[in-house]
Amino acid sequence: MIWPFKRKERVQVQTGIPAELVAAIEAAMVTPRGTGGEDDEPRMMVKIVGLGAFYWEGTQPAAERIGRAYPDLPAATCRKAARLIASVVGSRNRGEFRNNGRRRSGWVHSWSYED
């Protein structure tokens, strides 16, 4: 049972992204913030420890933000981390979209007999 204790080294070897950055990205808070821009698409606010809070605008601005926060990382690793953020934002956005609808209940559950 050695693998749980070696996870940090494995993550960094497999992706090149520091383990603390991967953990921060996986724990990111993604919040929809209304619509913005010309096309009225919903904007996503992303809060990541060490990177701060920013609106998701794509992988290029996210890679630049990572590069400013971690100046020792190569540009390719910053782009990998930005793609990881994109996958987290996408999965949280899909989850929000699925839960956005109102739960329906049938009339059977709200029916009552009145004289």
Q: Classify residue 30: in a domain, yes or no.
A: yes
Q: Are 95 and 89 in contact (CB under 8 A)?
A: no
What is the tens place of the pLDDT at every residue in 47-70? 999 999 999 999 999 999 999 999
Compute the chain's Rg from CA coordinates: 20
Out of 17-21, 26-30, 94-98, least confident range:
94-98
Q: Is residue 92 part of a domain?
A: yes
Q: Which amino acid is at 43?
A: R
Residue 56 in any domain: the answer is yes
83 within a domain of the structure (yes/no): yes
Cβ atoms of 84 and 74 within 8 Å: the answer is no
Look at residue 74 and tell me if it is in a domain: yes
Predicted TM-score (pTM) above 0.85: no
Instruction: Report yes or no on 4 lying in a domain.
Output: no
Q: Is there a domain that residue 107 lies in?
A: no
Looking at the 3D structure of the chain, how many domains does it have?
1
- Return the residue matching tokens 């709200």: 110
Residue 23 counted as domain residue? yes
Question: In the chain, at which residue ranges do the beta strands (DSSP E only) sit?
Answer: 29-36, 41-48, 52-55
- The parent domain of residue 91 ranges over 12-96
User: pLDDT tens digits for 77-98?
Assistant: 999 999 999 999 988 877 666 6
